[in-house]
């Protein structure tokens, strides 16, 4: 049973990572920020190869996190934009089309600010 906010965020990060893997997302990274200042503790970054999969993965993650009573604070983008951001406070999930992930190079920004806890190519 999840007892507090920190445990809920950690469980949410694990669920998001696992759901993305199950739905065949690619290059899934789980970063835990350690350097101050930080605006979130956990980042999940993943790539999908189609707008349809972007929508499906985003919805699956949102549904899984809702089941553990983790409520979304903010959502941006959609499948036609090439980038969906799901903001849960101390957990931020980026779902990218490949060309947008390469353009924004968010992985290089995050690796300098924390630890890569998990990665699936």
DSSP states along 44-101? EEEEESSHHHHHHHHHHHHHHHHHTT----EEE--TTTTEEEEE-SSEEEEEEEHHHH
CATH label of the domain that carries residue 34: 3.30.460.10
Domain that holds residue 59: 5-120
- DSSP secondary-structure letter at 41? S
Give the pLDDT of the chain (121 residues) as one tens digit per residue: 567 989 999 999 999 999 999 999 999 999 999 877 778 999 999 999 999 999 999 999 999 999 999 999 999 998 788 999 999 999 999 999 999 999 999 888 888 888 898 888 8
Q: How many residues does the chain have?
A: 121
Number of domains in the chain: 1
pTM: 0.93
């Amino acid at each position: 049973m999840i007892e507090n906010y920190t445990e809920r965020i950690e469980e949410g990060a694990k669920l998001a990572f696992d759901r993305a893997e199950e739905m065949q997302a690619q290059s899934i990274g789980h970063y835990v920020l350690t350097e101050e200042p930080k605006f979130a503790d956990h980042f999940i970054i993943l790539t999908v190869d189609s707008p349809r999969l972007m929508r499906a993965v985003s919805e699956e993650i949102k549904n899984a996190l809702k089941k553990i009573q983790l409520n979304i604070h903010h959502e941006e983008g959609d499948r036609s934009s090439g980038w969906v951001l799901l903001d849960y406070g101390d957990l931020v999930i980026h779902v990218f089309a490949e060309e947008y992930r390469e353009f924004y190079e968010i992985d290089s920004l995050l690796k300098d600010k924390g630890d890569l806890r998990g990665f699936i190519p």
